[in-house]
């Protein structure tokens, strides 16, 4: 079995919701990172066996975004593409899928990545409109149910949070934040702790951005404007240098607990991609791998307590790879919510000193959370930071809607 290695890792800068990237279709975002990923290592697109992209909010304007993106990039029609969705876990799961293709001998070079334009997520009519206007039940207020007009029109982002699990089994979960509040109660996470974590996330991300740490990994995007010249978007839009504990403390809890807009992740736009190939192929091409894929594991739990999937996935991948938390030089835990991260660290048995190697350049609270892009974006940043620090092992883990979790261990190849 051939080992899978990552030889290139790029991303766009992350755009805020309805921000600089709002006019760029998802397939064009993805096309940009696909092309940059192969150009940086000097391989031609026709050498790629398959493109595996993740997108959680696909729409009718670009179905199978993997195929649409590679064609938009001008790649040969002979290159195939597939699109996956495991909600927030998607961007790391595509790397898992790519590694499996390589390890099983079905491919030698795979480009894997994630893309999301939450600014362009659809409002849509459900298929039941075909045989009867209206519905048997409405959705929670604010979820786009316009039943008073006889036609239910849904916001795909809001609706997906409810419909990631069957209502008849789990009831209505009005948002992902509901399980973060459960995590805070069960693990005794305070509002003050959440705000302090959020402040540190912004501080780290702002410092990394100001010091140019993200420059190497970011692919500038040229965005045409309705009037005037095009703009070049190359800096993350979401980190806030003005963030303070005082400002965070003034924000009202959304559900009456500890979670606020300030200590939770945001809705964003962006794309990221990595080139995964067999170790044998990388040697043939004279490429120096950034890291070897040691192992990636997925886990599931009650969707009402989705935070439990992080420690479950981490335990599973450590068992698979015979590694431990103590061996991890850098750790990335996706910040869906500060309450969730703090609960997960506690579940994983991490001590306060471990936090020095967790999310060292910020995460979802500061850098944003373009759902299917996130797992790849985090990996791109992790791999570049591992190289800067000469770190041997990196861990990435994410929890997602529907009670899903994923964790991956990566080893720098010297």
Residues of the chain scoring pLDDT < 50: 133-135
% of the chain at pLDDT higher than 70: 94
- Which pLDDT belongs to residue 65? 98
Q: How far is CA 352 from the centre of its chain?
A: 25
What is the DSSP code string of 221-250? Answer: EEE--SSSS-EEE-S-S---TT--HHHHHT
Residues 6+ apart with CB under 8 A from 384: 9, 213, 216, 217, 290
Whether the CB-CB separation of 294 and 95 falls below 8 Å is answered with no
**Tell me, what's the pLDDT at 134?**
46
* Residue bearing tokens 């599931």: 300
What pLDDT score does 96 carry?
98
| 225-267 confidence digits (pLDDT tens) | 988 999 999 999 999 999 999 999 999 999 999 999 999 999 9
Check residue 154 and give its pLDDT.
Answer: 85
How far apart are alpha carbons 29 and 211 in whole angstroms?
A: 25
Sign (positive or negative) of CA dihedral 57, 61, 64, 68: negative
Residues marked active site are found at 88, 369, 399
Mean pLDDT of the chain: 94
Find tokens 């509040």 and name the residue. 181
**What does the pLDDT read at residue 135?**
46
Tokens for 182, please give them: 């459960």
* 8 A C-beta contact, residue 47 and residue 110: no
């Amino acid at each position: 079995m051939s080992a899978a290695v990552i030889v290139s890792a790029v991303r766009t800068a992350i755009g805020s919701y309805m921000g600089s990237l709002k006019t760029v279709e998802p397939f064009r975002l993805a096309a940009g990172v696909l092309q940059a990923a192969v150009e940086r290592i000097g391989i031609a697109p026709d050498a790629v066996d398959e493109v595996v992209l993740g997108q959680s909010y696909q729409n009718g304007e670009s179905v199978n975004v993997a195929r649409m993106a590679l064609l938009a990039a001008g790649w040969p029609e002979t290159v195939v593409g597939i699109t996956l969705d495991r909600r927030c876990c998607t961007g790391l799961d595509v790397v898992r899928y790519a590694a499996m293709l390589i390890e099983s001998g079905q491919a030698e070079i795979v480009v894997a990545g994630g893309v999301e334009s939450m600014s362009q997520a659809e409002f849509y009519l459900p298929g039941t409109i075909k045989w009867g206007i209206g519905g048997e039940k409405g959705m929670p207020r604010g979820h786009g149910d316009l039943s008073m007009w006889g036609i239910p029109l849904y916001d795909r982002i809001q609706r997906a949070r409810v419909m990631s699990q069957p209502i008849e089994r789990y009831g209505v979960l009005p948002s992902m934040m509901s399980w973060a509040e459960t995590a805070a109660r069960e693990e005794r996470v305070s509002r003050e702790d959440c705000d302090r974590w959020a402040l540190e996330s912004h501080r780290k991300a702002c410092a990394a951005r100001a010091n140019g740490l993200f420059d190497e990994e970011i692919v500038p995007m040229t965005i045409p404007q309705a009037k005037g010249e095009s703009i070049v978007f190359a800096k993350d839009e979401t980190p806030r240098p003005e963030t303070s504990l005082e400002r965070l403390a003034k924000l009202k809890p959304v559900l009456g607990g500890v979670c606020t807009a300030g200590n939770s992740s945001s809705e964003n736009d962006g794309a990221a991609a990595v080139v995964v190939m067999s170790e044998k192929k990388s040697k043939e091409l004279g490429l120096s791998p950034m890291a070897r894929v040691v192992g990636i594991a997925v886990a599931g739990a009650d969707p009402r307590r989705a935070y439990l999937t992080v420690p479950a996935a981490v335990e599973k991948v450590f068992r698979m790879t015979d590694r431990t938390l103590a061996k991890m030089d850098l750790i990335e835990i996706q910040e869906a919510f500060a309450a969730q991260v703090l609960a997960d660290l506690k579940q994983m048995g991490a001590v306060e000193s471990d936090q020095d190697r967790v999310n060292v350049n910020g995460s979802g609270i500061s850098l944003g959370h373009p759902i299917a892009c996130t797992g790849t974006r985090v990996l791109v940043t992790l791999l570049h930071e591992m190289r800067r620090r000469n770190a041997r092992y990196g861990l990435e883990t994410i929890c997602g809607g529907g009670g899903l979790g994923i964790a991956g261990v990566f080893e720098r190849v010297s």
